[in-house]
Amino acid sequence: MVDFARVQKELQECNRDFEVSGIRVVPKSEANLAHLLGTIPGPLGTPYEGGTFKIDINLTDGYPFEPPKMKFVTKVWHPNISSQSGAICLDILKDQWSPALTLKTALLSIQALLSAPEPDDPQDAVVAQQYLREHHTFLGTARYWTEAFAMTSSLDVEEKVKKLVEMGFPETLVRSALDSVGGDENLALEKLCSG
Amino acid sequence: MPIPEINNWEHFRDDDIMLRHSAIQAEEAMKVPFIGDKARKPLILIVLEPISSLAVEYQLGSPILLEKIKVLAAQFTAIRRTRGDGNCFFRSFMFAYLDHILESQDRPEVDRITVNVEQCRKTLLSLGHAEFTFEDCFALFLEQLESVVPRCEIPISHDELVERSRDQSTSDYVVMFFRFITSGEIRKRSEFYEPFIHGLTNMSVEQFCKSSVEPMGEESDHVHITALSDALGIPIRIVYLDRSCDDKGHVSVNHHDFSPLATDSTKANACCSEAHKPFITLLYRPGHYDILYPK
């Protein structure tokens, strides 16, 4: 059995200082605290800056004596993260895990890994090769992936605008309607129809 | 859990390797339950019995070991084996301590250690540990302690203690309790421990605690034992079974007593050796600890 009482406390503790850390953990559904979604902001001064990275978290029955299973949902270009599967190569998610650690400290460690790649102990050999041999290209690719996959909120908005414009509403009205309802497509549609 | 045969290495990924690795570890570890049965047989057989399996292990190596086993037989009545899963020191310590309290019904000792445990709780909080990470471990240890010397009910039986100590979950929580205590003590007195740790590993005190104390399954060394003994104020004797002998080939079994620092409560009679006489004796063979029962 996962220690759900502890998981509850972890969620409270983590989300309490979201303003400071920028790190959040939420259950994927209220019914099951064993499946969680974490988000970490890309560290400043790295190609990941400005991105928001989603991490899939699965807790096994042995938690907190066994490490949480974590992998990137957001595609990321990094030597220690699989560009295909999002698998993370990090010691504390394997044999260096301890019940003294928490979901938040694990996510902080992942954030630190984004700042300080370890290409000598790679998860993704292709990325690691590029990191070591064509560092400039690596930085460009990592930045491009961040913009393409980790900054989806702005892309989302464009998609919604496009959809609503295709329904026949003028773009300026669509944009102001989306703005006024905080980006919710359905509410914006209602507003446009009633207006 | 049986370990599946691998036919296709091409699609073998990190996760699979981890799974397979832990399956092999689990299979090895299952060969000895957490805390073995104390052999209740005539003396010479008792000590020789567990060592006989060892003797097979060292058969081609060293007659010194066999000599030393004879010496041990003169001093101890029994050995209780613990599982070799990297937690053997803490598990041996847990059982030896609770067993001693159950036998002695030493309420003052329980009151004394409870004060130290509360002190450790404060240490962990001041070091920035989130309380929810350690509170369950603390509660479970105190619960075990209470069950062997209850204030108003009858104590649990010896068999019940063995049963509980064999329960994976209970046992792991208590092991983790000791890991928390050890880590907190080392970090609290990091100036004292730094040179030892540096000599051992090249790590900082912080790194050492994170990588060699707090994770389950990390083996214990002098540093761990010293810290645990100091933090809880419990003297520990370690008897060494290794291949050392003097120039003339004479063998003697060495031991080392870990004597806790005098705390305020014990300072008054620090000269009194009774307070520092170890009631926990563990047998150390390179890489492993078991419990010894003195005559």
Q: What is the mean pLDDT of chain B?
A: 82
A36: left (phi over 0), alpha (psi -120 to 50) or beta: beta
pTM passes above 0.90: no
Q: Both A104 and A51 in a single domain?
A: yes
Same domain assignment for residues A118 and A39: yes
Which residue in chain B has the smallest CA separation from A1? B169
Top-confidence residue, B127 or B12: B127
- Residue B164 sits at the chain A interface (C-beta within 8 Å): no
Burial B23-47 (b: 16+ CB within 10 A, else e): eeeeeebeeeebbbebbeeeeeebb
The domain B9-294: what is its CATH number? 1.20.1300.20
A171 and A141 together in one domain? no
A88 and A13 in a single domain? The answer is: yes
Whether the CB of A175 is below 8 Å from some CB of chain B: the reply is: no
Provide the domain limits for residue A113. 4-150
**What CATH number is attached to the domain comprising A179?**
1.10.8
Which pLDDT belongs to residue B261?
Answer: 81
What is the signed CA dihedral for B232, B259, B179, B149, rounded to 10 degrees? Answer: -40
Query: In this predicted structure, what is the pLDDT of residue B44?
Result: 19
Write out chain B residues lying below 8 Å of A65, CB-based.
172, 176, 216
* Residues A10 and A75 placed together within one structural domain of the fold: yes
Is the same domain home to A93 and A162? Answer: no
Query: Which of B130, B183, B210 is opposite residue A102, by nearest beta carbon?
Result: B130
* CATH number, position A10: 3.10.110.10
Q: Is residue A34 located within the same domain as residue A76?
A: yes
A77 and A91 inside one domain: yes
* Chain A residues close to B136, C-beta within 8 Å: 3, 6
Chain B residue with CA closest to A95: the answer is: B215
pLDDT at A162 over 90: no
pLDDT in tens, B32-65: 556 655 443 322 122 334 555 556 666 666 788 8
Instruction: Tell me the mean pLDDT in the region B187-200.
Output: 94
Predicted confidence at residue B43, as pLDDT, reads 23
Q: Do B215 and A94 touch (CB under 8 A)?
A: no
Residues A96, A169: one domain?
no
Residues of B in contact with A98 (CB under 8 A): 179, 210, 214-216
- State the average pLDDT over residues A137-166: 85
Mean pLDDT, to the nearest integer, of B177-187?
A: 98
Chain A residues whose beta carbon lies within 8 Å of the beta carbon of residue B137:
99
Over 50: is that where the pLDDT of A49 sits?
yes
The Cα A136–Cα A127 span in angstroms is 12
A98 and A187 share one domain: no
Q: Are A91 and A172 found together in one domain?
A: no
Contact status of B134 with chain A (Cβ, < 8 Å): yes
Convert the pLDDT of each residue in B73-82 to its tens digit.
Answer: 888 888 888 8
CA separation for the pair B144, B266 (Å, rounded): 25
Number of domains in chain A: 2
Would you call B288 a catalytic residue per the annotation?
Answer: yes
Please report where in the chains the tokens 């978290």 appear, as a residue. A57
pLDDT score recorded for residue B276: 65
Do B132 and A123 count as a contact with CB atoms less than 8 A apart?
A: no
What's the mean pLDDT when you consider all of chain A? 90
Domain limits, chain B: 9-294
Active-site residue, from B209, B230, B276, B288: B288
- Pair (A40, A10) in one structural domain: yes
Nearest CA in chain A to B208: A96
Side chain identity, residue A195: G
Query: What does the pLDDT read at residue B67?
Result: 84
Chain B partners within 8 Å of A3 (Cβ): 136
Average pLDDT over residues B196-217: 94
Give yes or no for A87 touching B (CB within 8 A). yes
Which residue type is seen at A63? Y
pLDDT at residue number B71 = 83
